Structure formats: structure tokens, C-alpha cells
């Protein structure tokens, strides 16, 4: 049974960097397919952030590409998100996801990140 | 980026009703269209992928159709568990995009 779990700070100050980790169990991220991050803004809109492949290849949302980095840690069966220079507009619930048999077919429970001083 | 326009943004329905939600892409996306259901406090769940393939375990009252730019999610005989928000997602482009969601309520 594939399970994903997000971890990281729930509160980040404006202009600081946000780092989140997704721990995967029940499936090796080395095995292929892709892994990524989605966020849900306060108005409930879903926004695809980006995807990482086990070899480290990435695809990012063009609107965030300059601030976003997603990287795998195959030794820990985890992958991470880093979003630089956050503002209040980055306040959202962040979900990690795995696209194993179909796009976004496995999700973490989500973690609320608030950007505030 | 490909824009996904979902309609309606919300609808009122009753148990037993047939419900249809549409998603229109700003350019052709072949059949790279997926549907998700989200209930409050939970992550979205995949219902249908590749426009019309039902994910294993999803009730057969859910179906998807369409190709190119116009897609439809249909729920025949709405059940109490189906009151939720539904989103489409295109994965044809290297940058994936969601529709804005359709809330199905009583």
C-alpha cells in the first residue's frame, strides 16, 4: 500500500525559504514514474507545482520556476520541495503526490503552510 | 500554459440525480484529462484518468468522456457520498493545469 506523508514547518516568515519533505512508504521512488507537489490555495484552487523523476529530472510550473526546487533522496525514499522567498500568496495546503499508475493517483494528507511574520 | 475551464462552478442536486460536469481545454489535449474528487479536509482522489478510464475501485456510476478540448464527467444516480468538489487536470502539456473545480451540493 503506497503512502505519502508531508513534513515541515507550518509557519514561515515572509522572504524566508520554505522546505517540505515527502516520505514515501510501500513503494520505492527509484522504481520509476514521477513524484511531485500540488498546493491548494485558500480559495480552494489547486495548483500543480512540479514533478521530479527518480533520476533527478524535473518539470516546474512556469509561474514558480525561478523560486522552486524539487529533489529526490532515493536513499531515504523521500523527495523534497524548496520554495524560496515566500510571500503571503504562498500560504496554502501543500500536498505531495505520486503518479505511479496514473497522474496523481497517490496523495499525502497535506500540510498547511502559513506565511506570516 | 493550457487553461482548463470547468463548468458549472457549483450545482445543486439530489440523491438519484444524473449530474454532468464539463471541462474545456484552451487547446487540444488529446485524451490527457483526469478527474478528481475532493471532500473537505481530505486530499483529492483520482476517479478517472485518460479521459474515460475508471480507476480501480471507483463506482461505475462515474464515467468520463471526451477528447481534444471538451470533456465531461458524468455521475449517474448521485449518492450521498458523492457530494464533494470535483476537479479536472490536464497532463498533456509539460506544465499540468487544473480546472477551478465544481462543487456538488444538496
pLDDT tens-digit series, residues B41-96: 999 999 999 999 999 999 999 999 999 999 999 999 999 999 999 999 999 989 99
CB-nearest to B34 from A51, A60, A102 is A102
Query: Nearest CA to B78 among B37, B32, B25?
Result: B37
B87 touches chain A (CB under 8 A): yes
Give per-residue pLDDT as tens, A16-29.
999 999 999 999 99
What is the number of CB-based contacts under 8 A between chain A and chain B? 52
Q: Are A69 and A81 in contact (CB under 8 A)?
A: yes
For the stretch A22-73, pLDDT in tens is: 999 999 998 868 999 999 999 899 999 999 988 889 999 999 999 999 999 9
Give the pLDDT score at B104: 97
Q: How far apart are CA B90 and CA B97, in angstroms?
A: 6
Q: Which residues of B touch A45 (CB under 8 A)?
A: 98, 100-101
Our CA-based measurement puts residue B70 at a distance from the nearest CA of chain A, in whole angstroms, of 19
What separation in angstroms does the CA of A76 have from each of A22, A24, A27, A100? 10, 9, 12, 18
pLDDT attached to residue A30: 87
Chain A: nearest CA to B42, how far in angstroms? 7
Amino acid at each position: 500500500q503506497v503512502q505519502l506523508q508531508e513534513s515541515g514547518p507550518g509557519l514561515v516568515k515572509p522572504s524566508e525559504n520554505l522546505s517540505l519533505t515527502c516520505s514515501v512508504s510501500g513503494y520505492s521512488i527509484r522504481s520509476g514514474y514521477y513524484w511531485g507537489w500540488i498546493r491548494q490555495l485558500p480559495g480552494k484552487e489547486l495548483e500543480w507545482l512540479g514533478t521530479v523523476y527518480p533520476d533527478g529530472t524535473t518539470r516546474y510550473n512556469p509561474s514558480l520556476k525561478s523560486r522552486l526546487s524539487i529533489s529526490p533522496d532515493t536513499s531515504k525514499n523521500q523527495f523534497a520541495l524548496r520554495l524560496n522567498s515566500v510571500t503571503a500568496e504562498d500560504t496554502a495546503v501543500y500536498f505531495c503526490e505520486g503518479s505511479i499508475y496514473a497522474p496523481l493517483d497517490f496523495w499525502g494528507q497535506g500540510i498547511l503552510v502559513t506565511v506570516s511574520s | 500554459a493550457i487553461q482548463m475551464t470547468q463548468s458549472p462552478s457549483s450545482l445543486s442536486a439530489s440523491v438519484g440525480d444524473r449530474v454532468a460536469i464539463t471541462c474545456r481545454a484552451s487547446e487540444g489535449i488529446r485524451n490527457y484529462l483526469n478527474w478528481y474528487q475532493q471532500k473537505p479536509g481530505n486530499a483529492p482522489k483520482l476517479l478517472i484518468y485518460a479521459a474515460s478510464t475508471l480507476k480501480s475501485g471507483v463506482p461505475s456510476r462515474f464515467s468520463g468522456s471526451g477528447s481534444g478540448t471538451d470533456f465531461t464527467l458524468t455521475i449517474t444516480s448521485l449518492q450521498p457520498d458523492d457530494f464533494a468538489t470535483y476537479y479536472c487536470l490536464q497532463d498533456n502539456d509539460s506544465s499540468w493545469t487544473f480546472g477551478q473545480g465544481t462543487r456538488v451540493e444538496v
